[in-house]
Amino acid sequence: MTVEHLSQVTAEPDALELLARDEVMARLIERHGPYSWGLHPVFPSLVRAVVGQQLSNAVARTMFARLRDAGGLEPERLLELGEEGLRRLGLARAKGRALVGIARAELSGELAGLEGLDDEQVAARLTSLRGVGPWTAQMVLIFSLGRLDVWPTSDLGMVRQAERLYGLSGREAVVELGRRFAPFRSAAAHYLWSEGDA
């Protein structure tokens, strides 16, 4: 994995070579070019993920913008708003409680040092927080920490693309598919997502 300025993951030749051995991936690489994605700090990524849970993309963007405009991307400000202030912004009580907990975790240092942990340790620490499940942990691993071997089978969009492109049925079949892309499963997921956006 190449991380430029700690803000971008760019393609590794070894990853492209391995993925291109798969006929479907070879076509996706040709169509979308060498993979790359931006990296985002852990705290706002967690906030965005919790805000967007069980909402359409459009509503999630609106709610996140409302929270951002209220200063809610700073943990201190989130705590000042508190659960009631977050409710006044339109967030459900459970989400407000989760966001307050994430802000406390950030200020206590609980979210520090994730870079030095392996994927399972990161996931365990994150999912111990209220409102943070496996999907959110996987997104942080990929889009905040730049981990290249995450196969996010809790992401319905990726699973649907894998089923469509490979003629599979069910999550277990998609889990099995991911084995052929290790240790570059995040890059394979990126191509599946890219195809969904095409």
Task: Enter the tokens of residue 79.
Answer: 């705590």
At 35-70, the pLDDT tens digits run 999 999 999 999 988 998 877 778 888 999 999 998
At 21-39, the pLDDT tens digits run 999 999 999 999 999 999 9
Nearest-angstrom CA–CA distance, 88 and 135: 27
Considering the chain, tell me which residue range(s) the CATH 1.10.340.30 domain(s) occupy: 42-143
Query: In 3D, which of 106, 3, 113 has the Cα closest to residue 46?
Result: 106
Query: Exposure string (b/e) for 8-40, b if CB count within 10 Å is 16 or more?
Result: ebebbeebbebbeebebbeebbeeeeebebebe
Helices (H), 74-133: 75-88, 93-108, 119-127
Does position 11 have pLDDT exceeding 70, yes or no? yes
The 3-state DSSP class for residue 3 equals strand
- Report the pLDDT value the prediction gives residue 6, as an integer from 0 to 100: 54
Model pTM? 0.88
At 69-117, the pLDDT tens digits run 988 789 999 999 999 999 999 999 999 999 999 999 999 999 999 999 9
- Report the pLDDT value the prediction gives residue 53, as an integer from 0 to 100: 82
Nearest-angstrom CA–CA distance, 189 and 119: 16
Considering the chain, tell me which residue range(s) the CATH 1.10.1670.40 domain(s) occupy: 2-34+149-197
Q: Does domain 42-143 have CATH number 1.10.340.30?
A: yes
* Whether 51 contacts 64, CB under 8 Å: yes
The chain-wide mean pLDDT, for the chain, equals 92
* Whether 132 contacts 144, CB under 8 Å: no
42-52 vs 57-69: helix crossing angle, rounded to 10: 130
Quick one: CATH architecture of 2-34+149-197? Orthogonal Bundle (1.10)
Strand partners, 38: 8
The 3-state DSSP class for residue 182 equals coil
At 135-171, the pLDDT tens digits run 999 999 999 999 999 999 988 889 999 999 999 999 9
DSSP structural state of residue 4? E
* Whether 135 contacts 155, CB under 8 Å: yes
- Report the pLDDT value the prediction gives residue 1, as an integer from 0 to 100: 40
* Whether 29 contacts 55, CB under 8 Å: no
